[in-house]
């Protein structure tokens, strides 16, 4: 998918270093090796996708999602599992472009809904998701194992 200034394409193993750099913008110490492993697994999965926003020589953003069949209704739930824009490239439409691309993927799959979680301290991200049409619905309960 190409917009006026952004090219969105599937991420691949050769993007691992650039994707890790994008993820570090969120404060995650993700290594390129770890990203490459995940990309290898996701390549074989019909339920997972990683999309990147690319310019000529650099990736400016990344989003990943997972489609989950739900028992109680038709269609799937698509969960955005990561969204990150490279530091210094915020507020240039990259995040919006990536969200729209994931939404298009979800619609093409026949998903019933899409969700994203965001840490409590990321108030800017909360405003972004709300501006993209996402609303708060249910609390999420987590037990760390």
Could you tell me the pTM of the whole model? 0.87
Residue 72 within a domain: yes
Domain count, the chain: 1
Residue 2: pLDDT above 60? no
Average pLDDT rounded to a whole number, residues 104-113 = 93
Which pLDDT band, with edges at 50, 70 and 90, does 5 fall under? low
140 occurs within a structural domain:
no
Can you tell me which residue has the tokens 């490459």? Answer: 36
Q: Is residue 138 part of a domain?
A: no
**Residue 99 near residue 63 (C-beta atoms within 8 A):** yes
Q: What tens digit of pLDDT does each residue of 26-78 get?
A: 777 788 999 999 999 898 899 999 999 988 778 899 999 999 998 888 889 99
In terms of residue numbers, what domain contains 38?
7-131
Instruction: Average the pLDDT over 86-113 and give the result.
Output: 91
136 domain-assigned: no
In a domain, residue 116? The reply is: yes
pLDDT level of residue 83 (50, 70, 90 thresholds)? very high
CATH code of the domain in which 56 resides? 3.40.630.30
Residue 123 has pLDDT above 90, yes or no: no
pLDDT tens for 125-143 read 888 888 989 988 887 788 8
Give the residue, 6 or 93, on which the prediction is more confident: 93
């Amino acid at each position: 998918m190409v917009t006026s200034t952004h090219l969105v394409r599937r991420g691949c193993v050769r993007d691992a270093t650039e994707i890790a750099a994008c993820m570090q913008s969120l404060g995650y110490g993700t290594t390129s090796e770890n990203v490459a492993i995940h990309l290898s697994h996701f390549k074989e999965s019909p339920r997972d996708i990683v999309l990147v926003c690319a310019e000529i020589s650099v990736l400016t953003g990344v989003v990943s999602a997972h489609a989950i069949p739900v028992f109680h209704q038709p269609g799937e739930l698509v969960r955005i599992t990561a969204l990150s824009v490279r530091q210094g490239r915020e507020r240039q439409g990259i995040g919006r472009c990536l969200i729209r691309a994931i939404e298009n993927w979800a619609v093409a799959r026949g998903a019933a809904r899409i969700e994203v979680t965001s840490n409590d301290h990321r108030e800017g991200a909360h405003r972004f998701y709300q501006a993209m049409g996402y609303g708060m619905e249910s609390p999420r309960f987590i037990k760390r194992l």
